[in-house]
Chain A
Amino acid sequence: MPKDGIGASTKRREDIRFLTGNGNYTDDINMHGQTYAHFLRSDIAHGKINNIDTSAASEMPGVLRIFTAADFEEKGGIPCGWQVTDRFGEVMQEPKHPILAEGKVRHVGDPIAVVVAESLEQARDAAEAIELDIEELEPVLNMKEAIKDGATKVHDDLTSNLCYDWGFVEENREAVDEAIKNAHHVTTLELVNNRLVANPMEPRVAVGDYNRSNDEFTLYTTSQNPHVIRLLMGAFVLNIPEHKLRVVAPDVGGGFGTKIFHYAEEAFVTWASKVLNRPVKWTSTRSEAFISDAHGRDHVTKIELALDENHMFTAVRTDTYANMGAYLSTFAPSIPTWLHGTLMAGNYTTPLVYVNVKAVFTNTTPVDAYRGAGRPEATFQLERVVDKAARELGVDPAELRRKNFIKPEQFPYDTPVAVTYDTGNYHATLDKALEMTDYAGFEARAAESKARGKLRGYGLAHFIEACGIAPSNLVGQLGARAGLYESATVRVNATGSISVMTGSHSHGQGHETTFAQVVAEMIGIPADQIDIVHGDTSKVPMGMGTYGSRSIAVGGSAMVRATEKIINKAKKIAAHLLEASEGDIELKDGQFTVAGTDKSLAWGEVTLAAYVPHNYPLESLEPGLEETAFYDPSNFTYPSGAYICEVEVDPDTGKVDILSFTTADDFGNIINPMVVEGQVHGGVAQGIGQAMLENVTYDENGQLLTGSFMDYAMPRASDLPMYSTDHSCQTPCTHNPLGVKGCGEAGAIGSPPAVVNAVIDALQRGGYNVDHIDMPVSPSRVWSAMQKG
């Protein structure tokens, strides 16, 4: 095995360029003759556009042209990639999402006009001179009010603000009602899953470049999935055939979901570069990102858990209002439905589950996938209600979970919510986490805290997620308008080095290192002989990109399949050269050998023969050594884990300090432990951010109060602890070639309930009658709850 093969904590090769200032992020790209776009955005939440007067602004220095919706009448709207069917069999209401606001503005940040000028400063100056006549309308903000009869409508051409009323599993609705009515005990919890902004550190950027000589467009953009952008924008918005449209996502500074989606700015710069026959660049400011990047979460939920006299879960019923914002972002309808409802069995044998979700339009920024996407919302409510049930029944929260867990011998396990978990061992991860945190010693630690006047709490959450998104035929039935396979081309060069073109996109995950480790392992050559190429539609086969913890599980599988084809062909060549039968050829450590003989050939000798086919079986085999594979998964993958948070609450101020955070994950097989641990750290930090700090807040007029890093509390170094991570409990995935499950989202899924459960534990131990606090559990919220409890 090469030293940088599967299982090695190989240092990342991409780090060198990032550490030396040589990364190539989209904003680092400047084209000859480049112009600058500035978007004039609505500063009110809801209004009727009476007039846009650009005459004075057009005369400003450096202005090339000012665009409004009138310039886009021939163009399509921004498409939505998922059509949900409601519980009555009707398709969702789907409003037009124009590139620039048509007739109305529908959220603070809705783009109204774009100035393109010779410099960014000139474009901004001119935008100040655009005169707007916009009549303010009542903003629609509260989801439950928004769907009442007679409510003001966000979209006048829709029948109401209800996007859909989804039920799952609809056939179980009455049985679940009945089970809850007849239950020995029902625990009920009402909660808010707070709205968040993903805030990758690199704001979005788009550069459009049109080449008149060959009628080709190039879009450089901060995307997690350049082919998806090419398809959506080319086919549905601008009507550019794909062979004339290249989309490049170079180094991308984090995504976390919000860079999946196709945004208006991308379509604008691409099209405007043809209109002006000059490159057009747009760079988001952070303030703009807060009002124009799709937000995450924002569910209002009531969950009920029914238990029998033996404390076995008999049913779960959950009602959720999910905020869509003003328009449907690319995958928005799928998040509260198929990525949320299908996880409501959790790790448990609960036989009956019913999930109702009402998706609602409001005069706020669109909401879509953010790290975890639906699965954190499912996990939070489930793990909070299980914890609350344990406290109501006076039983140990760990024991209540253990009792209801799917047992190791029950896998593969068909849940009542359509998915089949292939593997898992929840008892093992729970035991591991309890051991790592010295559960038995907690009482002594709590006593020590008490002696210092502090309240110590121990919070546990166990989670399941559905990753490796996704089987195309299944998601097609569920409303996806895209396939969710992945692609890879493995190009072996004459002297044996390899370029892998993958449809997965790396924006922090380290694919350039970890994907190379897999191919190095399979062939037995050093990883530095293998380059990973991604992020350019002109270089890589059509792929679906990176989200849903799918890169190694789906993209990695495609790469394995392509590499297998390479090895099979190389063995045929080797058999010819060694005058042996193909079945006797073995490939190990980069050497082809004939079983039972001392005959061998090096990898590079065989690859050279493929391109210099002087002694080659030309009658039966094509020259060359390049193979492509498309891999469509047969199931999701199901990572799971136990997360434990220990906190100390200051009863005088309500301030919560995290003393330790421990994770025991089952990710199946692991390629690079160092990278996996890094993914967990980052996910946990985002989950702690949601639980303790972050919260999008709109005022009663729909003004965003948390519109900058001054107001929106991003987790900083001093807010977070060192983490203890473990991934030794491994039940490999049974349906992909690497046995991998994916690790990107786990941290953000499992951590919020662990934090809140710990805070509730601390308060109850301190004698406070508090059974829930909505996130973020800020000092003021904790203190206020203590005063009531």
Chain B
Amino acid sequence: MTTLTMKVNGKTRTGDAEGRTLLVQFLRDELELTGTHVGCDTSQCGACVVHVNGKPVKSCTMFANEADGAEIVTIEGQAAEDGTLTAVQQAFQDHHGLQCGFCTPGMVMSATALLKENPKPTEADIRHYLEGNICRCTGYHNIIKAIYAASGQDVSSIAAE
């Protein structure tokens, strides 16, 4: 066991991890941040996406000790202290971009990273960026709409309803 320290959602957190402990396990089991989910074991589904030093990372793809000293942001660190949702979170609710909610934390973290990199993505940009995030419920339509809306663009230009 090694004791690790990292800044998580703006707070300094410490915890113990084995060498083989994945970052996602450390976040869920040691820091009790269960908003980050595990949907697969081959780094395909994206339910575990968090931000590590400002970049979106599937937290099942790195060991916890690789994140020692890093700055981590998880889904729990998105909404404001008073509960106000971020623009991306609010757009997911407004556009019904989630159903069961299990992929949602990863989707929100990926979408947030996308809009940081590319503030006005096209529909194709969004679909391409979500290559590593699988949703089984929504058929993606409303996720695409939500992210497009969160970018401040008019969704009626992409949604064929």
A19-B85, A20-B85, A717-B133 given; A286·B39 CB < 8 A = yes
Which chain A residues border B127 with CB–CB below 8 Å? 717-718
Query: In the complex, what residue of chain B is closest to A287 when comparing beta carbons?
Result: B41
Q: How far is the CB of B88 from the nearest CB of chain A, in Å?
A: 9
Q: Is the CB of A722 within 8 A of B141?
A: yes
Kindly report which residue of chain A lies nearest to residue B101, judged by CB atoms.
Answer: A18
The CA-CA distance from A203 to B103 in the complex, in Å, is 12
Cβ-based interface call for B130 (8 A): yes
Give chain A residues whose Cβ lies under 8 Å from the Cβ of B85: 16, 19-20
Within 8 A of B (CB), among A1-27: 11-12, 14-23, 25, 27
Query: What is the chain A residue whose CB lies nearest that of B99?
Result: A508
**In contact, B142 and A202 (Cβ under 8 angstroms):** no
A20 with B35: CB separation less than 8 A: yes
A452 within 8 A of B: no
Instruction: Given A12-B93, A12-B96, A723-B139, check contact A19 B104 (CB 8 Å).
Output: yes
Report the separation of the CA atoms of residues A685 and B99 in the bound assembly, to the nearest whole angstrom. Answer: 14
Given A11-B93, A19-B89, A681-B138, CB of A660 within 8 Å of CB of B38: no
Q: Quick check: is A682 within 8 A (CB to CB) of the other chain?
A: yes
Closest residue of A by beta carbon distance from B9: A21
Whether A710 sits at the interface, judged by CB under 8 Å, is: yes
- Scan residues 155-203 of chain A and give those whose CB is less than 8 A from a CB of chain B: 199-203
Specify the chain A residue showing the minimal Cβ separation from B145: A722
- B35, closest chain A residue (CB): A21
B100 touches A678 (CB 8 A): no
Nearest chain A CB to B64 CB, angstrom units: 13
Docked Cα-Cα span, A254 to B104, in Å, equals 12
Q: How far is the CA of A722 from the CA of B157 in the complex (A)?
A: 11
Residue B92, interface by CB 8 Å: yes
A201 touches B134 (CB 8 A): yes
Q: How many chain-A residues does the 8 Å CB contact rule pick out? A: 59
Question: Which of B92, B127, B143 is the most central at the interface, judged by chain A CB atoms within 10 Å of its CB?
Answer: B127
| Complexed CA–CA distance, A30 and B29 (Å) | 9
Mask of A697-734 contacts with B, CB within 8 angstroms, 1/0: 00000000000111000111110101111000000000
- Chain B's closest residue to A723 (CB) is B141
Query: Would you call B131 an interface residue if the criterion is a C-beta within 8 Å of the partner chain's C-beta atoms?
Result: yes
- Contact check: which of A19, A682, A722 meets B99 at CB < 8 Å? A682
Do residues A708 and B44 form an inter-chain contact, with CB atoms below 8 A? yes
Chain B residue nearest to A18 (CB atoms) is B101
Query: Is A595 interfacial (CB 8 A cutoff)?
Result: no
Q: A285 at interface (Cβ–Cβ under 8 A)?
A: yes
Residues in B neighbouring A201, C-beta threshold 8 A: 37, 39, 45, 47, 100, 102-103, 134-137
- CB-defined contacts of B89 to chain A, threshold 8 Å: 19-20
B139 touches A685 (CB 8 A): yes
Contact A723 B102, CB 8 Å, known A21-B33, A286-B41: no
Complex Cα–Cα for A508 and B139 (A): 13
Task: Kindly identify, within residues 478 to 529 of chain A, every residue whose CB is under 8 Å from any CB belonging to chain B.
Answer: 507-510
Residue A73 lies at the interface, judged by CB distance under 8 Å to chain B: no
- Chain B residues, Cβ within 8 Å of A685: 138-140
Q: Which residue of B lies closest to A680 (CB)?
A: B139
How many whole Å from B83's CB to the nearest CB in chain A?
8
The reply to whether the CB of A251 lies closer than 8 angstroms to some CB of chain B is: yes
Contact B45 A286 (CB under 8 A): yes
Q: Is the pair B37, A15 in contact by a Cβ cutoff of 8 Å?
A: no
CB of B66 within 8 A of chain A? no
> A584 to chain B: which residues have CB within 8 Å?
none
B75 within 8 Å of A (CB atoms):
yes
The answer, among A15, A254, A677, for a CB contact under 8 Å with B137, is: A254
Question: Secondary structure at chain B's binding surface: helix, strand, loop or mixed?
Answer: loop
* CB-nearest residue of chain A to B76: A21
Q: Which among A21, A508, A682, A710 has the highest number of chain B CB atoms within 10 Å?
A: A21
**When each residue 122-136 of chain B gets 1 if its CB lies under 8 Å from chain A and 0 otherwise, what string results?**
010011101101111
In contact, B136 and A21 (Cβ under 8 angstroms): no
Q: What residues of chain A lie closer than 8 Å to B141, measured between beta carbons?
A: 681, 720, 722-723
Q: How many interface residues does chain B have, given as a range?
A: 35 or more
Contact between A20 and B78, CB atoms less than 8 A apart: yes
Cβ contact of B74, chosen from A17, A21, A681, cutoff 8 A: A21
Q: State A449–B108 Cα separation when bound (angstroms).
A: 37
Q: Is the CB of A203 within 8 A of B39?
A: yes
Q: Which single residue of chain B is at the shortest CB-CB distance from A29?
A: B34
The interface residues of chain A lying within 8 Å CB-to-CB of B36 are 21
Would you give the shortest CB distance from B7 to chain A, in whole angstroms? 17
- A359 CB within 8 Å of chain B: no
Taking CB as reference atom, which chain B residue is nearest A720?
B140
Encode A26-47 as 1/0 by CB contact (under 8 A) with B.
Answer: 0110100000000000000000
Contact B139 A684 (CB under 8 A): yes
List chain B residues, Cβ under 8 A from A674.
96
Q: How far is the CA of A121 from the CA of B133 in the complex (A)?
A: 27
A331 at the interface (CB under 8 A from B): no
| Alpha-carbon gap, A15 to B136, bound state (A) | 16
Q: Given A28-B34, A722-B123, are A682 and B45 also a contact pair (CB < 8 Å)?
A: no
Given A28-B34, A708-B40, A252–B100 Cβ distance below 8 Å? yes
Partner of B38, one of A17, A27, A675, A725: A27
Q: How far is the CB of B149 from chain A (nearest CB, A)?
A: 13
Asked if B18 CB lies within 8 Å of chain A CBs, one says yes
**Is A253 positioned at the interface, with any CB of B under 8 Å from its CB?**
yes
Asked whether A708 and B42 contact (CB < 8 A) given A19-B108, A717-B140, the answer is: yes
Contact of B101 among A199, A508, A682, A710 (CB under 8 A): A508
- B143 — which chain A residues lie within 8 A by C-beta? 717
Q: Counting chain A CB atoms within 10 Å of each CB, which of B33, B78, B133, B136 scores highest?
A: B136
Structural contact, B100 and A507, CB atoms closer than 8 A? yes
Known: A25-B37, A717-B143. A253 touches B101 (CB 8 A): yes
Nearest CB in chain A to that of B95: its residue? A674
Report chain A residues within 8 Å CB of B103: 201, 253
- Chain B positions 144 through 161: 1 when the CB is less than 8 Å from some CB of chain A, otherwise 0: 100000000000001111
- CA separation between A384 and B117, bound complex, in Å? 45
Task: Give per-residue flags for B20-49: 1 if the beta carbon is below 8 A from chain A beta carbons, else 0.
Answer: 100000001100011111111110110100
The interface residues of chain A lying within 8 Å CB-to-CB of B140 are 681, 685, 716-717, 720
Contact between A14 and B101 (Cβ–Cβ < 8 Å)?
Answer: yes
Is there contact, CB below 8 Å, between A510 and B99?
Answer: yes
- Give the residue of B38, B92, B135 whose beta carbon is less than 8 angstroms from that of A19: B92
Question: Are B37 and A286 within 8 A (Cβ)?
Answer: no
Chain B residues lying within 8 Å of A507, measured Cβ to Cβ, are 100
Task: State whether B34 touches A21 (Cβ < 8 A).
Answer: yes
A426 at the interface (CB under 8 A from B): no
B8 close to chain A: CB less than 8 A? no
- Determine which of A25, A200, A285 lies in contact with B136 in the assembled complex, contact meaning CB atoms within 8 Å: A200
* The one of A22, A678, A709 that contacts B96, using a Cβ cutoff of 8 Å: A678
C-alpha gap A16/B47 in the complex (Å): 17
- Chain B residues lying within 8 Å of A563, measured Cβ to Cβ, are none
- Residue-by-residue, is B86-115 near A (CB-CB < 8 Å gives 1, otherwise 0)? 000100111010111111110010000000
- Tell me, yes or no, whether B62 is within 8 Å of chain A by CB: no
14 A-B contacts, Cβ less than 8 Å apart? A19-B79, A20-B35, A21-B36, A254-B99, A254-B102, A256-B136, A287-B41, A510-B99, A681-B140, A683-B139, A709-B40, A709-B42, A710-B44, A720-B139
Closest 6 CB pairs of A and B: A21-B35, A18-B101, A253-B102, A685-B139, A508-B100, A709-B44
Known: A254-B99, A716-B134, A718-B130. 4 other contacts (CB 8 A): A20-B75, A21-B36, A681-B138, A681-B139
Interface residues of B (CB under 8 A from A): 18, 20, 28-29, 33-42, 44-45, 47, 74-76, 78-79, 83, 85, 89, 92-94, 96, 98-105, 108, 123, 126-128, 130-131, 133-144, 158-161
